[in-house]
Structure 1
Amino acid sequence: MSKSLQAIRGMNDILPEQTPLWRYFEGTVARLLDNYGYRQIRMPIVEFTELFKRSIGEVTDIVEKEMYTFDDRNGDSLTLRPEGTAACVRAVLEHGITGGGQVQKLWYVGPMFRHERPQKGRYRQFHQIGLEVFNLEGPDIDAELIVMTWRLWGELGLRDAVKLELNSLGTSESRGRYREALVEFLSAHIDKLDEDSRRRLKTNPLRVLDTKNAETQAILVDAPKMADYLDDESRAHFEGLKARLDAVGIPYVINPKLVRGLDYYSKTVFEWVTDKLGAQGTVCAGGRYDGLVEQMGGKPTPGVGFAMGIERLVLMLEALDKVPEELSRQVDVYLCAFGEAAELAALALSERIRDQLPNLRLQINAGAGSFKSQFKKADKSGALYALILGDDELAQQVVGFKPLRGQGEQQSIAWDALAAHLATCVVQG
């Protein structure tokens, strides 16, 4: 017997009962970003592999172990994008939209791909909303990104469930000095480090600070602190960011071990974390990458951005019971028609109602059926009201109006008065 076809492990279908919450979340974010003056950009999901090696860093976990890379028919090495910043930088460079110091405030949404061990909140195909700003170098724009996410948590009802962690990685020069001090310290304790940290010590020592190993974490208590190696410019930038967050009243904690997993970050880095999702605690993260555009062949261009994981935030909304009640209802009104003449009239009437009430979710019965079967479908749809159109109603040019989710008797409504009646009832419902 042939094996049944299934989705690839870690790449999941998002089913119709799940998509309303996704659309609600994505729509909330899109409206917020519109209100702050950000514009959407859409990039391909496949890029040349060299893009990610050059931007993310060849010795990062992503490039070394997690990318989906393949050769196409031309022999070119291509990669399914593991993150969005590199692709966005490539796009703005290719089209010259940051030239001459033009400020660009951009956002994108879509799937990313990493070959990780699938678990709740961590998948091989996952979805992100990302945001990138170019040619603004002050702490004010860093603060705006964080303020926007704080406002988003408020709109979603998640503020009490997230915590903001901040750090500064300084410039590449100050980070280099810190790197030397950290390597010297860790080398003196190398026999006590876990295997992964010993590997990272040779390739990407700052990532040792990210370790989840308890013994290594105990050693890091006495490790050098990045704050002691910051240059004056980075220290002033970080103080300016904190002052702005204080002015708005956004609480935060300084996490000296926060380094992020990508090589291109500098100065500000931040994460919004939660304890509501088990091990997958980061729901939004980002920071500043002032050297990345130049590293990828452009002119020196300040940059800052963040990305948030849609799967994790959807899980949070569900876990904390923050899903709006109306999302469980996909239909406001269900129109039942009995007989061919009534079906023809129902089609014309429904289109007239849609013209008058474009936001009304009106479903007309398809496939005919008895009175009992059509009402069963109306009830299953979750509609608040059923409309009934048969020979008697057709003769009088009325529809039967029946509440399905509460008190109220069936009544007859004239066709000309139906739109006004529905507008009142559905809003009240």
Structure 2
Amino acid sequence: MRRYFGTDGVRGEAGKPPLTPEFVLRLGQAAGAYFARQGARPVVLLAKDTRESSDLLEAALAAGLMSQGVRVEHLGVLPTPGVAYLTRRLGATAGAMISASHNPYQDNGIKFFGPSGEKLPDEAEAEIEALLEEAHPTRAIGTVGDFREAERMYLDFLLAHAPDLTGLRLGLDLAHGATYRLGPKLFQRAGAEVMAFFNTPDGRNINRGCGSTHPEALARFVVELGLDLGLAFDGDGDRVQFIDRKGRLFHGDHILYLTALAFGEEGVVGTVMSNMGLEVALRERGLAFHRAPVGDRYVLERLKETGLSLGGEPSGHVIFLRHHTTGDGLLTALLTLKALKAMGGDLADWYEALPLYPQVLLGVRVSDKARVMNHPRLQEAIREAERTLAGRGRLNVRPSGTEPLIRVMVEAKEGAEEMARELAALVAALDRE
């Protein structure tokens, strides 16, 4: 059991436990001690997003790492998948990203990547947590540097996968986050005519009313300005949502369907949140479909188990394992546009090619996720709802791995909203008890 690490690193409100400077210093010491066991002088690449707290946490983490003899190379503001790519490309011991992804600016987090460019496995995170309980006097003096080639190298990697986008009128929602510089540069170099929105970070506006979790403004801009499509990224750039020319959300399930057909995949890995319509459509085409728990690390594990190379989540967090070890919003956008060119038609055509079951997803803020999830009344309500949906829909009630929420998802051809609201109301009531 891990106390601090969740499905996507250590996450919380910056300045409050566990994300205080004191704790992050200790985390750096523990992680540094762990990395020092991997061989000679360890090197850790360190990047961040645009939150106002990222500088503070970066300094604390770097100090802890250096106290254990680690060489820290600062990458500056860079999307999370850029850290994963460069860790593997440069042969670093590890990479670290300071970000809370799609969360509001008050939150922040720390996630680590191993030398393969994959997120550390649960066992490694558990070992780092165990080291947190030990004292770590300074064992060696580490050093620090600024790796100024980081953005250029990551951009070159992305451009190597870019189709010719000449003539495409494209709207970008950069979420005031880690893609705010790189995104426009990338798509302009690929030939697109780019209109960039939400690209002026001030430390507090990341994800606020924008980005992949709030694409409504981008949808309006696409329609009003007559753009061909829009791309909405999240705060750390590991996911993307598309908007078609009619202003409709073309999300991760659509991306998986289109790219699976275009690239001749034998099957796809989704999650428990993937729409039943995607599963039905893929199986009708003779493609296998597997479900993993929510979280890209579990999608990656399932890809390896099945020998497949394409997997992802409705959120737009998609892994193209032939090209990268983690979800990458910019790479996903490029490869989806390449698939679109190969298959013909435009995004609106492919939106209509995948009929999805009506799905309602509600998030209920709670004070104690474990207590509410394990409450007998909620468990009985879930069992009753599953009996009602048997054969005609799906239900998933789960605690968020990154926020103090319980998420209720109901998917059915009819009655989904009523059932979801009833379950959400029960969760809220049980939390108040």
TM-score range, shorter chain: under 0.3
Higher relative contact order (Cα pairs below 8 Å, separated by 6+ residues): 1
TM-score w.r.t. structure 1 length? 0.23
Larger radius of gyration: 1
Structure with the bigger percentage of helix: 1
